[in-house]
Structure 1
Amino acid sequence: MQEVKASMAGTVLNVMVAEGDSITSGQELVMLESMKMEIPIEGVEEGTVAEVNVAIGDFVNEGDVLVKIK
């Protein structure tokens, strides 16, 4: 199972996927805001979303698991 992690600390602006969604490599999964910049978090391989661990407005730290892909 692939874990998609936060590349830096920030606030979740948007979650573009839900459990059960099929994704493609490079697809944006979550949008973070950090230091007034928007940082897209992308999947690195195709698969199906197994878990979404964040919601809009959540604060995440670098390395936190945002989405799990199977």
Structure 2
Amino acid sequence: MREFKVVNECQGVVIAVEASPGTQVEEGDTLILLESMKMEIPVAAPRAGRVGTISVAIGDVVAEDQLLAVLELD
């Protein structure tokens, strides 16, 4: 099974985790919601797959290029 790592594109705070491990997602589905510079920024699944791991929790401060999740691709 192949894996695809979802990394953060900007610094922010995790305000919601929309997907959990084992969830099947389609390309464009929101995985995590961040707040950065008073804006809500959705982190979307770049590909369809099953969520393997979520590496952050609500309230976490995340840095640019930090691992947020891993998708398992079929």
TM-score, with normalisation over the residues of structure 2?
A: 0.92
Distance 2:6 2:37 in 1: 21
Q: Render the CA deviation track for 1:1-41: whole Å, top value 9, x for unaligned.
A: 11111110000010000010000000010000011011110
Distance 1:55 1:8 in 2: 16
C-alpha root-mean-square deviation of aligned residues, in Å?
0.5
TM-score, with normalisation over the residues of structure 1?
A: 0.97
| Paired residue type of 2:56 | V
Distance 1:51 1:5 in 2: 12
**4+ runs of 1 displaced by more than 4 Å?**
none
Q: Which residue of 1 aligns with 2:54?
A: 52
Gaps of 5+ in 1: none
Percent of counterpart pairs with the same letter? 37
Q: How many pairs align?
A: 70
Between structure 1 and structure 2, the one with the greater Rg is 2
